[in-house]
Structure 1
Amino acid sequence: MMKKALMIILMAGFIILPMIIWSRTLYFNASGGLPINIYLGIYIYDFGRLLALIGFMLIFFQYVLSSRIRFIERTVGLDKIMRLHRIFGIVGLVMILFHPSATFIGNFLQEQDQLFFHPLKIVGLVALLLLCLMAGIAILYKYVNIKYETWKNVHRFIYIVFPIAFFHSLRLGSDTQKLSLKIFWWILFGLYLIILIYKIAMRFYIRSRPFNITRVLQETHDIWSLFFKGKIKSYKPGQFLFIQLIRNGKVSESHPFTISSSPTRDELSISVKSVGDFTSTIKNCKPSELAYIDMPYGVFSFLNYDAKNFVFIAGGIGITPFISMLRYMYDTKLGRNIILIWGNKTSKDIAFKDELEKMASEMPSFKIIHVMSSQQDWQGEKGFINAEKIKKYVSDFKDTQFFVCGPPIMMKNVIRDLKQLGVTKNHIHYERFALR
């Protein structure tokens, strides 16, 4: 919590500092005497300057938050950072879009000449168009079936946008002519270069340590597990990784997957459901093929909480972080009370079935409840996981930690039900793994 609070304070400080410098340059004339249009023009122009300053800071944060900087990611988890990244992106884009309009109207009301084709204004326009392209792809990818690779490549424009926006604001901005803000702007650019060097160094580091695929195992009709050997970094059960597969000399884009293996075991593994262009090719991987792996990420692990009672609520392939945690508990013989409530369409979708049954038979404190939504002849629970089913199997809602992972709509409904059952916010844990 201290790290999270420190991060928030630093980000707030980075935004407030240029606002303070801006406020000290505001025009104030107590004696009056100027026409109303001049006053109005001055204030609108000043507002346009403020939009540019805050918008630039939010674009800087876009760059920082999307760079997978580990000491930042460990504070709240990459999924929450990426949600903040999206919010900052939208707000920053809106501010920067209104910036040229406000400055134009302000200058017009002050009856000042407008230099539309000034080279520095064209530079700013280029940065704005690139931002609009990135935002458009981010907003529309769900609706127009944009490939993940396209989305990823377009978002790399952030590394071009920031230096262009920096050059535009430093040379054309009136506020950045003040020594204090100019120094601050150069500090930001220095941080940009440091992060860029870090990103390049990490890329070389990861590519210098490829992993070998050792096994490809079919878990169900549409779930496959890949097993790897290599220099495995220390990780906690429940965390995730980014993987690039090397096929026919070509390196795929980086994709996030939950680690399904346990740190107690020699092999690293992921378990993937075939639902898209990339995941549908997992079954075609062959032993001895190589992969680049960047790990670990995420804070979704029971090891982060000192508790005796845990309830794991999974939907479909959302079982993967829980199988990692359960394997860890089984191997280390941890004395924890565990209830796993797992929703699937049919019994054919149950992965790791034999392994889970073995765990349940050898771990008296571990109980599994399967819920089938599309199998009428199922002898157990049917329908969807809801408050009624949770209450049926869970008696203690005060001293139990609840972990939820599954499709977005399932997670939303389960989290809502848990809150209605009286579970406090700090006892409900989840990570959304759709990082775009």
Structure 2
Amino acid sequence: MQVRIAWGIWWLGLTLAWAAAAAPWQGMAAASEPAFWWQLRQHALYLSGIWSIGMMSLVMLLSLRQRWMERPLGGMDQVYCLHKWAGIAAAVAAVLHWGAKESSGLIKGMVGTAGRVPREAVLSWATDWRGTAKDLGEWAFYALLIMVVLTLWQRLLPYRPWRKLHRVMPALYLLLAFHTLALTPLTFWQAPLGMVMAALLLVGSVAALWSLAGRIGRGRNRYAAQVHEARVLGGAAGQAPLEVLCAMPKNWPGHRAGQFVFASFEGAEGPHPFTIASAPEGCGRTADGKELLRLVIKPLGDYTRRLPSLLQPGQAVQIEGPYGCFDAQGGAARTQVWVAGGVGITPFLALLQARQPGVACRDGLQPAHLHYCTRNAAQDVLLPQLQALCEAAQPSVRLQVHDAAQGEYLTPEHLAQYGAQLDIWLCGPAGLGKAMRQAQQRGWRIHQEAFQMR
């Protein structure tokens, strides 16, 4: 919900700023039919362009992964959701912009050239750059569409080449920023819209240059850790979950149960998001006093399947974070319900460990009901640990396992038994989240951890 609100506010702000500068209602009402169509094209051209570059500027800003973004949006995973949907909106607006540009031939065939809007003045330095700016914008438009298609249709491209291709996006933004700067009418720059556009282009360009310089994720949020231990939790490597204990440096600020980090085990591969599967101090410390951080990684892709053969004790690992607001802190008068599917159980392992005797538990925790959806309970290597954690949890956590192999599936009735006022904390595949939202009843508050951030 916060992502939708933020997206809507951003879109509305861009639209109102354009409307105040263009005042489309002033000329179109009294225009003749030929002039009406040409003015409509002109307004559509500029509005769609402002939407596109405005959303692209938001994409660039969000790509910086700044911690201050988490609280208003509900966590870094939600920042990535807004990043994704802003990118899609930018591409859709770019298509509309291209369509408005190409509609001149259609309008000419309908009403002729009478009433055609004359070319508007631009910034003085940009007059000689109109042709170049148009060409660069068109090339960047085609590249942007390809990027969005590959992002949405992930099976077309494995992660590593996708990541390398995605690094082109900041360069495309700089081309589009130049296109915007050179072709925006002078009257827009003289209106309040001009200040909005200048701020967007400045912030977006700085973010793009920061990204091209490889600075994202570095600085105060990045820590040089080491692999303390890596072991496969039952089964064969590449099929069973991998447990990785990371020895964190002394300047590690600590984390909250339910948060995640970006871990980079290989420089060429880049960082991947992994949920922390341990509570603060839950895994103890090394002999030299370094806190141990536990990651449980399921082999869901080519890279994660290769990790067991790549990781060795003492190996360097770059940890960025911690991020996230998935802390299962709800209203005192509301029933806590946790829902996990597959590897989505990972944040709940940390939340459960925070409730164990001897672990520094926080005051104010409430009893909870945990529903765990698994493909095959008999082969689930995490289930015994999960059951033990639930049995010892203080306050209590009642576990119910939904075993797909036995035809046992989670239904809305399982949750409705707890009453109407529910805080539901959900982490699992997109299908599980969609089903839960379709079944959502009045009084339910669903807090969902984004399962995929690509």
Provide the TM-score with structure 1 as the length reference: 0.83
Tell me the residue number matched to 2:204.
192
| Bigger mean CA offset, 161-170 vs 269-278 | 161-170
**Contact 1:169–1:176 at 8 Å: present in 2 too?**
no
- How many pairs are equivalent? 414
Structure 2 counterpart SS, 1:278: helix
AA in 1 matched with 2:294: S
- After superposition, the CA RMSD in angstroms is 3.4
Q: Deviations over 1:120-173 (max 9, x none)?
A: 21111122122112112123223x3x1112222222222112221121122123
Cα distance in 1, alignment partners of residues 295 and 259 from structure 2: 11
Cα distance in 1, alignment partners of residues 449 and 133 from structure 2: 43
Tell me the residue number matched to 1:212.
226
- CA drift of 1:423 comes to 5.5
Structure 2 residue 253 is the aligned partner of structure 1 residue 233: yes
Q: 1:329 to 1:362 in 2, by over 3 A?
A: closer
Equivalences for residues 57-206 of structure 1 within 5 A? 57-76=54-73, 77-106=75-104, 108=108, 109-110=112-113, 118-142=131-155, 144=156, 146-174=157-185, 178-180=189-191, 181-196=193-208, 201-205=215-219
Tell me the residue number matched to 1:435.
453
**Contact 2:260–2:322 at 8 Å: present in 1 too?**
yes
Q: Which runs of 5+ in 2 are unaligned?
A: 120-127, 283-290
Cα distance in 2, alignment partners of residues 413 and 177 from structure 1: 46
Provide the TM-score with structure 2 as the length reference: 0.80
Task: From 255, 264, 275, give the equivalent of 1:244.
Answer: 264
Task: From 260, 273, 280, give the equivalent of 2:277.
Answer: 260
Cα distance in 2, alignment partners of residues 3 and 123 from structure 1: 31
Q: Deviations over 1:1-37 (max 9, x none)?
A: 999978864663344213321226964584x6x6x43
**Contact 1:176–1:185 at 8 Å: present in 2 too?**
no
**Contact 2:225–2:246 at 8 Å: present in 1 too?**
yes
Tell me the residue number matched to 1:346.
377
- CA drift of 1:79 comes to 3.4
Cα distance in 1, alignment partners of residues 422 and 221 from structure 2: 42
**Contact 2:48–2:94 at 8 Å: present in 1 too?**
yes
Structure 1 counterpart SS, 2:302: coil
Task: From 265, 269, 277, give the equivalent of 2:302.
Answer: 277
AA in 1 matched with 2:131: H
Tell me the residue number matched to 2:443.
424
Cα distance in 1, alignment partners of residues 152 and 139 from structure 2: 20
- CA drift of 1:240 comes to 1.3
Structure 1 counterpart SS, 2:420: coil
Structure 2 residue 360 is the aligned partner of structure 1 residue 332: yes
- CA drift of 1:322 comes to 0.4
**Contact 2:137–2:179 at 8 Å: present in 1 too?**
yes
Structure 1 counterpart SS, 2:354: helix
**Contact 1:235–1:263 at 8 Å: present in 2 too?**
yes
AA in 2 matched with 1:320: T
Cα distance in 1, alignment partners of residues 37 and 10 from structure 2: 34
Structure 2 counterpart SS, 1:97: helix
Cα distance in 1, alignment partners of residues 435 and 7 from structure 2: 30
Q: Deviations over 1:358-392 (max 9, x none)?
A: 551464723222232215xxxxxx5212234445x
Cα distance in 1, alignment partners of residues 42 and 135 from structure 2: 19
- CA drift of 1:271 comes to 0.4
AA in 2 matched with 1:282: L
Structure 2 counterpart SS, 1:135: helix
Q: Deviations over 1:86-136 (max 9, x none)?
A: 333333223222324423434844367999x93221111122122112112
**Contact 1:397–1:423 at 8 Å: present in 2 too?**
no
Structure 2 counterpart SS, 1:210: strand
Cα distance in 1, alignment partners of residues 333 and 259 from structure 2: 19
Structure 2 residue 318 is the aligned partner of structure 1 residue 292: yes
| Bigger mean CA offset, 192-201 vs 363-372 | 192-201
AA in 2 matched with 1:347: A
Q: 1:293 to 1:305 in 2, by over 3 A?
A: farther
**Contact 2:263–2:318 at 8 Å: present in 1 too?**
yes
Cα distance in 1, alignment partners of residues 381 and 413 from structure 2: 22
Structure 2 counterpart SS, 1:264: coil
**Contact 1:170–1:177 at 8 Å: present in 2 too?**
no
Q: Which runs of 5+ in 1 are unaligned?
A: 376-381
Tell me the residue number matched to 1:379.
none
Cα distance in 2, alignment partners of residues 397 and 350 from structure 1: 32
Q: Deviations over 1:297-324 (max 9, x none)?
A: 2221113654674222222221101010
Tell me the residue number matched to 1:51.
48
Structure 2 counterpart SS, 1:228: strand
Q: 1:313 to 1:38 in 2, by over 3 A?
A: closer
